[in-house]
Structure 1
Amino acid sequence: MRTDFHNHLEKGTLTLDYLKKFTEEAERKGIDHFGISEHAYHFEETKEILSNPWVNERRWYTMEEYVNLFDQAKEEGINVLMSIEMDYTPGKHKEMAAFIQKYPFDYVIGSVHWVGDFGIDLAEYRKEWDKRDVKDVYKKYFDQIVTLAESNLFDIVGHIDLVKIFGHVPDDREFLIGEYERVTNAIKESKTCVEVSTAGLRKHVGRIYPEPDLLKMCFEKDIPIVLCSDAHEPEHVGYEYDQAVRLVKEVGYTKVMTFKNGRREEVELT
């Protein structure tokens, strides 16, 4: 069973023709469970949840357009799940919950991209890393991963250690292990799965999310996983899937989670 739940249409259009480029690539690569999870900040309906100058320039769609696209896909018998990737926003739990509950998502991904006004994974903010204490950024980032899990609003936490994207990693292993412990302790008490994402292999860091030490903790605490590519282009669907499979099997995983209509099911990993 192969899965890829984290994919984006934002570089193209919310049209059936463009969607088919992704679903056809998923079919070609033998992906059984495939979903689109567009960034929530692109939609007008989320402006009360997350708003800043960078995000506001990219408020392109309405949820009516998005839902209609998946209705069309269903009518044509296209095998695709509807999701959203929402920026977890501290202090906006009520608003996030209302948005999530309003639409028929098959599953919802929660991610952290902002530490205050610092877009940690954005090229425009990359020089900011030189002005900040790396351990402080990591702590604040993982603070949000903890409260994301505690909110129990999300089915999946996306790219759980995205904070390493530009290769900035504290040289204090004890500190890192402590951060991994507290985030996995929070996740194991929630409904949240952890995404194993090959997107990091396409980034400066050149590594899968999460780090093996973090993934091992997830396994030891019986936290379920999903495999994803975070494709923003059709050709990246299922990107380096075999590397992800090798990693999770080395750690000990034999099953992955799947989703449909807000319900989840664990299936054998192949």
Structure 2
Amino acid sequence: MRTDYHNHLEKGTLTLDYLKKFIKKAEAEGIKEFGISEHAYHFYQTKDILSNPWVDERRYYDMDDYVKLFEEAKQAGYPSLKMSIEMDYTPGKHREMEKFIRSYDFDYVIGSVHWVGDFGIDLAEYRKEWEKRDVYEVYEKYFDQIVTLAESNLFDIVGHLDLVKIFGYIPEDQDFLLKQYERATDALAKSKTCVEISTAGLRKPIGKLYPDPVLLQRCYDKGIPIVLSSDAHEPEHVGYAYDQAVKLAKSAGYQQVATFTNGKRKLEPLT
């Protein structure tokens, strides 16, 4: 069983024709469990959760159209397609996030941290900000949010667990890093939240999988389930470099991946 639960249509259109390109690539890659998880900030219905100038310029979808797309896909012969959303975890907005999540029949929900205050840590437009900020402070605040994301128990999957390394700014103090890994995995182990092994990092400046092998080992040792994801924003990236993802998973000890249907999790053999 291979999954690809983290994919985006935002570079194209919310149409069946465009969606089919992703589905066909998933089929060609032997992916049995495939889902679309568009960024929640694109939808008008999330304005009360996350709002800033960068996000607000990119809020142009309506959830009614998104739901209709999945209904159309199932009628067209794709009954196993999973409907999801990737939500920016936003401190102080737990009630609003829960209300949004419960308003739709998602198969699973991904929670991710992209913002540390007003700092878009993974955005090219903000890359120069890394030179102006204390890397240790950014990391600590980033993992603060990973901890409270897990504690909220609102999400089925945490996206790209150590995304904060995307541009290669990494604290040199290994003890500090291990402390962040420990507290994040402690919180995740007490929650329902799985971790994705994401190949997206291989396409980013860091050139590495998410999460770091040491961090993934902590996840395995604490019994935190995994899914496989490519974070594809284009059809050709679906299932990208999955042999590397599977190799990393098995090196940590994983023999199963999580699958989701109607919010319910099931473990399947990893192949």
TM-score normalised by the chain length of structure 2: 0.99
Uncovered stretches (5+) of structure 2, i.e. residues with no partner: none
Q: 1:77 Cα deviation (Å)?
A: 1.6
In structure 2, the residue matched to 1:49 is: 49
**Separation of aligned partners in 1, 2:221 and 2:29:** 30
In structure 1, the residue matched to 2:73 is: 73
Runs of 4+ in 1 over 2 A off after TM superposition: none
In structure 2, the residue matched to 1:94 is: 95
**Separation of aligned partners in 2, 1:93 and 1:122:** 24
In structure 2, the residue matched to 1:262 is: 263
Partner AA of 2:265 in structure 1: R
Partner AA of 1:227 in structure 2: L
In structure 1, the residue matched to 2:199 is: 198
Does residue 145 (structure 1) correspond to residue 153 (structure 2)? The answer is no
**Separation of aligned partners in 2, 1:13 and 1:80:** 17
**Separation of aligned partners in 1, 2:54 and 2:237:** 25
In structure 1, the residue matched to 2:135 is: 134
**Separation of aligned partners in 2, 1:214 and 1:229:** 18
Q: Deviations over 1:24-66 (max 9, x none)?
A: 0000110000000000000000000000000000001000000
Query: How many matched pairs?
Result: 270
**Separation of aligned partners in 1, 2:2 and 2:235:** 17
Q: Deviations over 1:183-216 (max 9, x none)?
A: 0000000000001100000000000000000000
Q: Deviations over 1:231-260 (max 9, x none)?
A: 000000000000000011011000000001
What root-mean-square deviation, in Å, do the aligned CA atoms of Structure 1 and Structure 2 show?
A: 0.4
In structure 2, the residue matched to 1:230 is: 231
TM-score normalised by the chain length of structure 1: 1.00
In structure 2, the residue matched to 1:15 is: 15
Q: 1:76 Cα deviation (Å)?
A: 1.1
Uncovered stretches (5+) of structure 1, i.e. residues with no partner: none
In structure 2, the residue matched to 1:34 is: 34
Q: How high is the sequence identity, in percent, across the aligned residues?
A: 72
Q: Deviations over 1:142-189 (max 9, x none)?
A: 000000000000000000000000000000000000100000000000
In structure 2, the residue matched to 1:64 is: 64
Partner AA of 2:9 in structure 1: L
Partner AA of 1:48 in structure 2: D
Q: Deviations over 1:121-144 (max 9, x none)?
A: 000000000000101000000000
